[in-house]
């Protein structure tokens, strides 16, 4: 399976642009969590909280790190299990494409008006462009024409 196919999701998003697929982020989260544990930082935070209000939130920060770790996508949406947080294990677009026996949403005649895709377009503004480019240029030749993955990305 070529790289474009492997990392192009059913919905037309490119997995490697997605935060849950950023392995460096999750390596750093793991390192930070381990370092904080090894230092006994929770004790330090408790001491500092007597003078610095923000340290009262240390446990919330640790819970956030734990939840962030769960965002990690171990694989693309064509291989293996889908995580609870990162790639949505109940992804309607994935289910729909599989049920229709199509390679991805770009092969569906209704992708421009699809309600399943609509809810994601505000968060992923390049989604429809990607589907158009895949439809026009094919999976092997669309990647250099992809749109913005997130609203805030370039």
pLDDT digits (tens, 9 = 90+) for 106-117: 999 999 999 999
3-state secondary structure of 14: strand
Among the listed residues 7, 12, 8, the one whose alpha carbon sits nearest the alpha carbon of residue 114: 12
Residue at 81 is within a domain:
no
Domain span at residue 154 reads: 1-15+89-154
Distances (CA, A) of 113 to 11, 78, 105, 123, 145: 13, 24, 11, 17, 22
Write down the pLDDT at residue 85. Answer: 46
The pTM of this model reads 0.82
Q: Are residues 6 and 62 in the same domain?
A: no
Q: Are residues 57 and 93 in the same domain?
A: no
Q: Are residues 99 and 144 in the same domain?
A: yes
Residue at 79 is within a domain:
no
Write down the pLDDT at residue 109. Answer: 95
Report which DSSP code applies to 143: G
Residue at 78 is within a domain:
no
Q: Are residues 152 and 94 in the same domain?
A: yes
- The answer to whether 96 touches 116, Cβ cutoff 8 Å, is yes
How many domains does the chain contain in total? 2
Q: Are residues 8 and 27 in the same domain?
A: no
Sequence-ordered list of residues with C-beta below 8 angstroms from that of 3, at least 6 positions apart, any chain: none
pLDDT tens across 47-79, in order?
A: 999 999 999 999 999 999 999 998 888 777 777
Write down the pLDDT at residue 4. Answer: 81
Q: Are residues 100 and 61 in the same domain?
A: no
Higher per-residue confidence, 6 vs 14:
14
Q: What percent of the chain has pLDDT over 90?
A: 71
- Is the pLDDT at 88 greater than 70? The verdict is no
Q: Are residues 11 and 47 in the same domain?
A: no
């Amino acid at each position: 399976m070529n790289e474009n196919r492997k990392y192009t999701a059913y919905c037309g998003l490119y997995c490697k642009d997605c935060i849950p697929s950023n392995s460096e982020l999750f390596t750093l989260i793991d390192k930070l969590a381990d370092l904080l544990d090894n230092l006994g930082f929770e004790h330090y935070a408790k001491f500092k909280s007597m003078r610095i209000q923000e340290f009262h939130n240390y446990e919330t920060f640790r819970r956030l790190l734990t939840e962030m770790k769960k965002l990690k996508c171990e694989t693309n949406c064509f291989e293996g299990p889908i995580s609870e947080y990162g790639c949505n294990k109940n992804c309607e677009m994935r289910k729909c494409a599989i049920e229709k026996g199509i390679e991805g949403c770009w092969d569906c005649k209704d992708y421009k008006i699809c309600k399943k895709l609509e809810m994601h377009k505000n968060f992923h503004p390049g989604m429809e462009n990607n589907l158009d480019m895949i439809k026009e240029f094919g999976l092997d030749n669309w990647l250099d024409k992809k749109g913005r993955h997130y609203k805030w990305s370039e």
